[in-house]
């Protein structure tokens, strides 16, 4: 007999992107911000006192909730802080999905979703994207699917494509359960679904401090939803999900909007350059609204070989051995220097002039 529940015994765990110890590696594989966080974050960290470490932190990360509420123009009770955006996903699954319930999500999208569904012993309703050339569209079933939870990454990962607000509103209006809009990458996109949170009680937005604010190492994320839904989620969270150090860092980071927005602008400008250069080399890619691109290798080229050769050259990108993705590489947008190194090495690997 297994020591764990049957479904845990049978499931495969999530495999995160590689995190090499060698800092000379050009890391374009896990969509981190290539720029450091705001200098105000380091100042805040230097001010941490022993007393703050001795005591438990604020159970609901009050300082951050208040700062984020000001940034988003909502009330603090519409913000729930978690240990990374991933923990918000765990909370939503724990609160909304029991064994035998159904969870719906698009495919390809975030590969953690099926893992979380398996943990709950939930049924998975997979909604395949309709992919025509570089167009990624929702399948019509998304407008009639019934489940406890529907997960939509917007902008999507790994495609970087964006769904428009009227489409999202249409889905939320009819869907009987909770719709989680995963906005981990929204800082690089033209619009957020924030306005829908004020209108609908069954929607929750996921936000991450890992990408837009350069704080992946700190682990801090949050949800935005109406208080009626968040009050339910508070019941299933840890007593102190965010530590005092992370609360101080994340609060300093979100308060310095001008700095963060400066990094988003640089990344968006580089995204345009990298996309054009990849297309000129024969890659095919949808327009990205995120901090990465999903590039299909030119005909006759093996994506996994390209991934391996880049790795040998000290550049990491993401290769997914998953249906629909085996001919593609997901490449995080780095600094101008990192992107130039990537493009130069790709030219060598593909032997293009
Ligand atoms: C689509 C998506 N959602 C959520 C997350 C969670 O981010 P974090 O836990 O670092 O805040 C990620 C991280 O890669 C992601 O790609």
Q: Mark whether 103 and 128 lie in a shared domain.
A: yes
Domain end, chosen from 204, 232, 256, is at 256
Helix, strand or coil for residue 132?
strand
Q: Mark whether 269 and 245 lie in a shared domain.
A: no
Contact 283, 295 (CB under 8 A): yes
Residue 329 has a CB neighbour count (10 Å cut-off) of 27
Q: Mark whether 113 and 221 lie in a shared domain.
A: yes
Q: Mark whether 272 and 337 lie in a shared domain.
A: yes
* pLDDT band at 18; cut points 50, 70, 90: confident
12: domain CATH number is 3.90.1150.10
Say whether pLDDT at 87 is over 80.
yes
Closest residue by Cα to atom 1, ligand 1, is 110
Q: How many domains does the chain have?
A: 2
Helix, strand or coil for residue 225?
strand
pLDDT for res 15: 87
Ligand 1 near 155 CB (within 6 A): no
Smallest CA-to-CA distance from 342 within 298, 293, 301, 299 is with 293
228: domain CATH number is 3.40.640.10
List pLDDT tens digits, range 28-76: 999 999 999 999 999 999 999 999 999 999 999 999 999 999 999 999 9
Q: Mark whether 136 and 262 lie in a shared domain.
A: no
In-domain check, residue 124? yes
In-domain check, residue 181? yes
Tokens (6 digits) for 200:
């609908």
334 is in which domain, residue-wise?
6-30+258-350
> Of how many residues is the chain composed?
353
Q: Mark whether 137 and 274 lie in a shared domain.
A: no
Domain end, chosen from 193, 221, 256, is at 256
Domain end, chosen from 202, 234, 256, is at 256
Tokens (6 digits) for 68:
């984020």
Helix, strand or coil for residue 288?
coil
d(CA 136, CA 235): 37
Longest CA–CA separation in the chain, Å = 61
pLDDT for res 133: 87
Contact 83, 229 (CB under 8 A): no
Instruction: Give 295's contacts (C-beta < 8 A, 6+ positions apart).
Output: 278, 283, 284, 285, 328, 329, 330, 331
Tokens (6 digits) for 291:
């901090």
Q: Mark whether 215 and 320 lie in a shared domain.
A: no
For residues 146-171, give the mean pLDDT: 97
Higher model confidence: residue 22 or residue 325? Answer: 325
Say whether pLDDT at 86 is over 80.
yes
Q: Mark whether 73 and 91 lie in a shared domain.
A: yes
Q: Mark whether 262 and 224 lie in a shared domain.
A: no
Q: Mark whether 302 and 338 lie in a shared domain.
A: yes
Smallest CA-to-CA distance from 206 within 336, 323, 90, 328 is with 90
Locus of tokens 């080399």:
281
The runs of H, that is alpha helices, within 235-302 are 244-255, 257-280
Atom nearest to 220 CA in ligand 1: 11
In-domain check, residue 1? no
For residues 326-351, give the mean pLDDT: 96
Contact 63, 255 (CB under 8 A): no
Ligand 1 near 184 CB (within 6 A): yes
Q: Mark whether 212 and 227 lie in a shared domain.
A: yes
Residue 187 has a CB neighbour count (10 Å cut-off) of 22
Atom nearest to 31 CA in ligand 1: 14
Say whether pLDDT at 303 is over 90.
yes
Ligand 1 near 221 CB (within 6 A): yes
Residue 19: alpha-carbon gap to chain centroid:
17
Atom nearest to 89 CA in ligand 1: 4
For residues 137-151, give the mean pLDDT: 97
In-domain check, residue 299? yes
Q: Mark whether 247 and 307 lie in a shared domain.
A: no
């Amino acid at each position: 007999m297994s020591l764990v529940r049957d479904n845990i015994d049978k499931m495969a765990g999530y495999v995160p992107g590689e995190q090499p110890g060698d800092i000379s590696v050009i890391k374009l594989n896990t969509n981190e911000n290539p720029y450091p966080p705001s200098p105000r974050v380091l100042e805040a960290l230097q001010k941490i006192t022993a007393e703050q470490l001795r005591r438990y932190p604020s159970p609901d990360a009050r300082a951050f909730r208040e700062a984020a509420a000001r940034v988003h123009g909502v009330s603090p009770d519409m913000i729930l802080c978690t240990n990374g955006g991933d923990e918000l996903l765990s909370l939503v699954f724990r609160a909304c999905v029991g064994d035998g319930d159904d969870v719906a999500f698009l495919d390809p999208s975030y590969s953690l979703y099926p893992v979380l569904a398996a943990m709950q012993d939930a049924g998975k309703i997979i909604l395949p994207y309709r992919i025509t050339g570089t167009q990624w569209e929702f399948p019509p079933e998304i407008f009639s699917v019934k489940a406890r939870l529907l997960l939509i990454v917007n902008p999507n990962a790994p495609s970087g494509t964006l769904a428009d607000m009227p489409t999202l509103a249409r889905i939320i209006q009819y869907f009987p359960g909770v719709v989680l809009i995963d906005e981990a990458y929204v800082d690089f996109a033209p619009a957020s679904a924030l306005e829908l949170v004020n209108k609908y009680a069954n929607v929750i937005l996921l936000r991450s401090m890992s990408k837009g604010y350069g704080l992946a190492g700190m682990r801090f994320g949050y949800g935005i939803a109406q208080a009626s839904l968040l009050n339910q989620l508070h019941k299933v969270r840890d007593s102190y999900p965010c530590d005092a150090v992370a609360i101080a860092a994340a609060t300093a980071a979100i308060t310095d909007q001008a700095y963060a927005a400066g990094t988003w602008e640089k990344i968006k400008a580089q995204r345009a350059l990298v996309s054009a250069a990849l297309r000129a080399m024969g890659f095919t890619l949808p327009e990205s609204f995120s901090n990465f691109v999903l590039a299909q290798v030119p005909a006759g080229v093996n994506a996994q070989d390209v991934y391996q050769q880049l790795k040998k050259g000290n550049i990491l990108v993401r290769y997914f051995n998953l249906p629909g993705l085996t001919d593609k590489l997901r490449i995080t947008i780095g600094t101008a220097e990192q992107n130039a190194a990537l493009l130069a090495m790709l030219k060598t690997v593909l032997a293009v002039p």
